[in-house]
Structure 1
Amino acid sequence: MRFVPKFLLSAMAPAHFPGTAKTYDAPEVAFLGRSNVGKSSLINALLGSKEAKVSSTPGRTRAINFFALHEGTTQKFSQRPSLIFADLPGYGYAKISKSISAEWPTFIEPYLNERDQLALCVCLVDTNIPPQANDTQLITALRQMQRPHVVVGTKADRLGGNQLTKSIAALKKAHGEDRIIPVSSKTEDGMKALWAEIVSLVQ
């Protein structure tokens, strides 16, 4: 399946979220994780483009950035997108508060709690560091909201086979997950598995 990505808008309040017009009416996939975990890089690797802006400065993304995915080619694609990706601000860098809901701007919680179009949350965790409590908090919150989610372990190319296996096992145990998909935006390992997961869960 081939998609043509198109930047839609940046939102910093619920009133700014995409509406329900034909050009916006599609299932949304949200990407969440700690600052500098590689959300924008992962989105670009999935799309085969550079639509999502990548910054080496943690906490640079301060809005929800929405991208429409149209099936087809740049010459011709349907007006209605097949999917919409939402790149959410990171957490854990500017320690404003102990809780995720207070740490993020107030528009994040309404998006996760109330957004009817939100079909799947992709939670990114770093395979190169020990499991983080605020990642566990996010994943637990999504379970409580009954939001479908999948957890991916980023930067997997930096670890050897045995190291990666141990890291994934530790992340599974800490976050209470049966499956975590190791991915690398650099080598594109895991992208096919993640795409398959996104398509199956959204459908």
Structure 2
Amino acid sequence: MQFTAKFLLSAMKPEQFPNDARTGGAPEVAFLGRSNVGKSSLLNSLIGEAAAKVSSTPGRTRAINFFALHEGTPQKHAFTPKLVFADLPGYGYAKISKSISAEWPTFIEPYLQEREELALCLCLVDTNIPPQTSDTQLIHALQQMQRPYVVVGTKADKLSNNQLAKSVAVLKKAHEVENVIAISSKTDAGIKALWAAILQGTQV
């Protein structure tokens, strides 16, 4: 299945979230994770184009950025989106964590708790560092909200196969999850497996 991505809008409060007129009620996939974990890079890898801006400065994304995914090529695609990707602000970066944390209750928590179109959350964790408490807290919060989620291990290309296997095992134990899909936005490793999980989770 081929998709053409189109930037919809940036939202910093619930009333700015896209309505059905913009999305056709398409299921939404939220990208969540610590600052600099690779959310924008992964989004670009999934859609095969640089739709999301990638910054070298952690915490640069301060709004929820929505992207509509239309089935087909840029020259000829379906008018109504099949999917919507939502790139959420990162958390846990020391220099801006307080300001980001202050913003979460105002529009990010309402999005996660109340957004009817939200079908699947991608929880991104870095395979190159030890498990982070903030990631565990996010996973537990989604469990309490009864939101379906998939844990994605990013930057897998930086580790050998043995190192990656050990890292994934540690992450699964620490976060108390059965599966972590290891991916690399640079080599596209794991992207097909993640796409399969997204399509299954959104029933597209």
Higher normalized helix content (fraction of residues): 2
Residue aligned with 1:21, SS: helix
Q: Secondary structure at the match of 2:98?
A: coil
Aligned residue runs from structure 1 range 3-18, under 5 A = 3-18=3-18
TM-score, normalised via structure 2 length: 0.95
- TM-score w.r.t. the length of structure 1 is 0.96
Map of 2:98 onto structure 1: 96
Amino acid at match of 1:144: Q
Aligned to 1:64: 64
**Match of 1:52, SS?**
coil
Alignment of 1:15-164 (within 5 A): 15-21=15-21, 23-93=23-93, 94-96=96-98, 102=102, 104=104, 106-164=106-164
Q: Summarize deviations over 1:123-143 as a string: whole Å, max 9, x none.
A: 000000000000000000000
User: How far apart are residue 101 of structure 1 and its match?
Assistant: 6.1
Name stretches of at least 5 consecutive residues in structure 2 with no aligned partner.
none
Tell me how far apart the structure 1 counterparts of residues 171 and 22 of structure 2 sit (CA, whole Å): 40
Identity %: 72
Query: How far did residue 75 of structure 1 move?
Result: 1.5
Paired letter, 1:10: S
Distance 2:33 2:50 in 1: 19
How far off is 1:24 after superposition? 4.0
The 1-side partners of 2:61 and 2:21 are apart by: 26
Offset, 1:103: 6.0
The two structures, once aligned, show a CA RMSD in angstroms of 1.4
In the TM superposition, residue 23 of structure 1 has moved relative to its aligned partner by 4.0
Structure 2 residue identity aligned to 1:6: K
Is contact 1:18–1:24 with CA below 8 Å preserved after alignment? no
Is the 1:183–1:189 contact (alpha carbons within 8 Å) kept by the matching residues of 2?
A: yes
Three-state SS of the structure 1 residue aligned to 2:106 is coil
Given that 1:25 and 1:80 are in contact with CA atoms closer than 8 Å, whether structure 2 keeps it comes out as no
The residue type equivalent to 2:138 in the other structure is L
For the Cα contact (< 8 Å) 2:91–2:101, is it kept in 1? no
SS in 1 for 2:197: helix
Question: Matches of 1:200 and 1:177 in 2, distance apart?
Answer: 18
Is the Cα–Cα contact under 8 Å of residues 23 and 84 in structure 2 kept in the other structure? no
